[in-house]
Amino acid sequence: MPVLTNVIEIVAEGTVPFTTGGAKVIQNVFHYQLQSGTPQTAVDVAQQFRDNKWVTLVAQLHESYTGVGFNARYIDDALENYTFLASTGDGLITGDRLPMDMAVACVLRCAARGKNFRGSKHFTPLAESDTLKDELTSAAAISWNTAIQNLFTTINLSGAVYIPVVVSKTLSQLRTNPCTVIGSPITSVLLNKTIGTMRRRRQRTSR
Exposed/middle/buried for residue 42 (C-beta within 10 Å: 0-12, 13-18, 19+): buried
CB atoms within 10 A of CB 21: 7
Residue 138 burial by Cβ neighbours in a 10 Å radius (0-12, 13-18, 19+): exposed
* pLDDT at res. 172: 98
Angle ∠(32,69,27) on CA atoms, nearest 5: 65
pLDDT averages per 10-residue partition of the chain, 207 residues: 94 93 93 98 98 97 97 98 95 95 96 93 97 97 98 97 97 97 97 88 63
Q: Distance between CA atoms of 85 and 170, rounded to whole angstroms?
A: 28
User: In residues, how long is the chain?
Assistant: 207
